[in-house]
Amino acid sequence: MSLRRLHPPLHLLRTFGTVVRFGGISRAAEALHLTQSAVSKQVQELERWIGVDLFERSRKRLVLTPAGERYEKVVTGLLARLEEATLELITDSEGGGALHLSVLPTLLAKWLIPRLPQLRRQQPQITLQFVPYVQGYDFADPALDCSILFGDGHWPGARSHYLAGRDVALIAPRRGLGEAEVRMARDVGRCTRLRHVSVPTAWQDWCGAHGVAGIDALAGPQFDQFQTMVRAVMAGMGVALVPRCLVQDEIDAGSVEEPLGQAGGYVCDLGYWLCYPQARAQLGKLVGFREWLLTQAEAEPAGAPS
């Protein structure tokens, strides 16, 4: 079988899909701005090209054959993907288009989303498409352009830019919710200390920063999201160390307390970073998003690496 037969002309596939979508030759001809005769001939030409009947003809009606039904589903999907890819290529050349990114859920909800209306005003040509975070660092996937990851800023094969998160706050429940009152750093030893799975040395580092000894830094309930930890503190379950960018709203609202003030926190080695593969560094939509995002990060409190 020749390769030519396996690659029908695009205009024949487009006509075939239009006939199916509009349910007949007449309306398809109107949509394509062709004569009914021309549309009918193109459908027949496609059938001759592939050597398979796509329609059953009865009383001037066209009904898809089983083979035609299967083929139509594939052709429709391919044409839609081709249009999407072409549109994205055109818009990307102008610095816009759909930017596919993944973001940790808590940072997305607490830090990024409140800023997105500004992005839309300043760069309306960029459309964000959020990829499930489970695909967060699979840059081999062409559907992923960049990610905001939590870590030390080093990921193999990726460029990274610090955004926020190294300024960590010590938070406690409001008074009267059952936890021991924290007036000095050593009082933390009498409290239930909540821990985050991604920062296993947090309490150890905090104790070192505040000169506190004799505390089991590995004791206490463990969580996998900072947002869940904040809710646990609000419920009176214990004290926690949380990036300030994720909990400042709750502190300001009085939903949690910062018993030792800002001096009661510490600067962590970990934080949130915008990451992307070198091959996408000059992607127009990514360049625009990166510039805007780094401007937002500059307004964050101290804690960025030098």
Query: Does pLDDT of 64 surpass 80?
Result: yes
Which contacts (CB < 8 Å, 24+ apart) does range 153-157 have?
153/271, 153/273, 153/305, 155/275, 157/277, 157/278
pLDDT at 306 (0 to 100): 32
pLDDT for res 84: 61
- Give the mean pLDDT of 154-180: 88
- What residues does each domain of the chain span? 4-92, 97-164+271-298, 167-267
Mean pLDDT of 215-239: 93
pLDDT of the residue at 302: 47
Count of other CB atoms within 10 angstroms of residue 214? 7
Q: Which residues of 113-132 are buried (b: 16+ CB within 10 A; e: fewer)?
A: eeeeeebeeebeebebeebe
Q: How confident is the model at residue 262 (pLDDT cuts 50, 70, 90)?
A: very high
Reported residue count of the chain is 306
**Is the pLDDT reported for residue 169 higher than 60?**
yes
Percent of the chain with pLDDT over 70: 87
What integer is the mean pLDDT of 73-99? 69
Asked if residues 161 and 274 have their Cβ atoms less than 8 Å apart, the reply is: yes
Alpha-carbon span 288 to 106, nearest angstrom: 24
Q: What is the dihedral of CA 24, 26, 29, 30, to 10 degrees?
A: -120
Decide if 149 contacts 273 (C-beta within 8 A): yes
Strand pairing of 271-277 and 158-164?
antiparallel
CATH top class, domain 167-267: alpha beta
Nearest partner of 242 among 254, 232, 229, judged by Cα: 229
Rounded to an integer, the average pLDDT of 10-21 is 88
Q: How does residue 145 score in pLDDT terms, banded at 50, 70 and 90?
A: confident
Helix (H, G, I), strand (E, B) or coil at 165: coil
The average pLDDT across 89-101 equals 66
Rounded mean pLDDT of 119-125?
Answer: 90
In the predicted structure, residue 192 carries a pLDDT above the cut 70: yes
At residue 35, does pLDDT exceed 50? yes
pLDDT of 212 strictly over 70: yes
Same fold, 97-164+271-298 and 167-267: yes
Structure tokens at 278: 């070198």
Mean pLDDT confidence for 26-52: 89
CATH number of 97-164+271-298: 3.40.190.10
Q: What is the pLDDT of residue 281?
A: 85
Class of 4-92 in CATH: mainly alpha
To which residue do tokens 């005003």 refer?
A: 121
Q: Is 63 helix (H, G, I), strand (E, B) or coil?
A: strand
